[in-house]
Amino acid sequence: MEGVIFVLLNHALELHTTRSWDFIGFSESYVRHSYYNAGNVIIGMFDSGIRPESDSFSDEGLEPPPKKWKGKCQTTKNFTCNNKIIGARYYSSLKTDIKCPRDTTGHGTQTASIATGREVLGASYYGLAKGVARGGAPSARIAVYKVCWSFVCYAADILAAFEDAIADGVDIISISFGGSMHGNYFLNPTALGSLHALKEGIVTIGAAGNYGPERGILSNSAPWMVTVAASSIDRKYVSPDPKATILFTEVVEDIQAPYDAGFSSRGPNLVSPNILKPDLTAPGVNILAAWPSTVPVSEKVHSKKRVKYNKLSGTSASCPHVTGVAAYVKATDPNWSPAAIKSALMTTAYVMDPEKHKNEKEFAYGSGLITL
């Protein structure tokens, strides 16, 4: 067929399901500093869509989108964009899907709010972790690319989204999904799409996956991508009105954070064994993030529990942390290449304690914990 270079199978990939930013050094005073204003940085979120009504995506005080933005908003009866969510597209390989950028699973809303959510006072999960919810780059703009439906993301949709995101003018692409794909990078949709993005100066950040603690099962492991593992933070959930008493029967060792999460995928990179993966680790355990109030908290059928903020654990949560930091690096020097941004993130990482990870070490956390 004329114009076709090659054809690959339409594989299905899977989604990798406040205090964390302070933990890695991004205090509220830091993100408010005008020198680090990321208002001209556009983050392309490849996920399950977004809930635009959330306070985390308010456009109050934001100017119109940057002139470099060439994308569009696929508005529907119940979905519109604003000066925060400046663009939205949806893709579907299945005829049964509802055609709308709106998030119906909660995953895309959570990842977007972690990366670039606005400051929201008094956010909590049923009173737990109460405080100011915010993303890493609150002033950055969001371009939504809904490629995942009911936790499944098809290769054809992913490649189409990469093509659109490149043409739209995004600066960073964030991918919190993956799966057991072909060992050849050029038959892998995220690897192939991110390579084309790289050529246009766009850095792609991807979740390593939740296949730990086994070794060598990594998602988004292409050398030109930033592959992110998940680790713990120093948060404790304390109830002001406890209803139960815990009786201690033995003493166990409490390992001080940061520590790699047991579910986080480990290296080595089986496709390119000489290249260390993952590249970095970031907070990914019990992260408070925005949640669609129309989506039940419980997976039980007919559950009526609703919240505005929910907890998320997984490399899906750690990936947007690195995305938020990358937005500030890009804002500091818009001319930096993807390689320069990746180098800055890795060489400034907090070096993890190898004694806590005797069996895995760098295969669990790469160059270390993302930080300032």
Asked about 182 being catalytic, the answer comes back as no
DSSP string of 63-97, one letter each residue? PSPPTT----B--BTTB---SSEEEEEE--SSTTS
For helices 315-332 and 338-347, give the axis angle rounded to 10 degrees. Answer: 110
- Among residues 20, 47, 168, 321, the one annotated as catalytic is 47
Backbone angles phi, psi at 341, to 5 degrees: -65, -45
Say which residues have a Cβ less than 8 Å from residue 272's Cβ, sequence separation at least 6. Answer: 221, 223
Q: Where are the alpha helices (DSSP H) in 97-154?
A: 107-116
Backbone angles phi, psi at 31, to 5 degrees: -70, -20
Which residue in this structure is represented by tokens 């993303």?
135
- Among residues 221, 313, 316, 318, the one annotated as catalytic is 316
How many helices (H) and strands (E) the chain has is answered by 8, 15
At residue 128, the 3 state secondary structure works out as: strand
* Separation CA 204–CA 197 (nearest Å): 7
For helices 315-332 and 107-116, give the axis angle rounded to 10 degrees. Answer: 40
- Among residues 107, 260, 279, 367, the one annotated as catalytic is 107
Reported in sequence order, the residue ranges of the chain that DSSP labels E, i.e. its strands, are 12-15, 42-47, 85-90, 120-125, 128-133, 141-146, 148-149, 152-154, 172-175, 177-178, 203-207, 226-231, 280-283, 287-290, 309-312
* Separation CA 122–CA 270 (nearest Å): 45
At residue 340, the 3 state secondary structure works out as: helix
Q: Write out the catalytic residue numbers.
A: 47, 107, 316
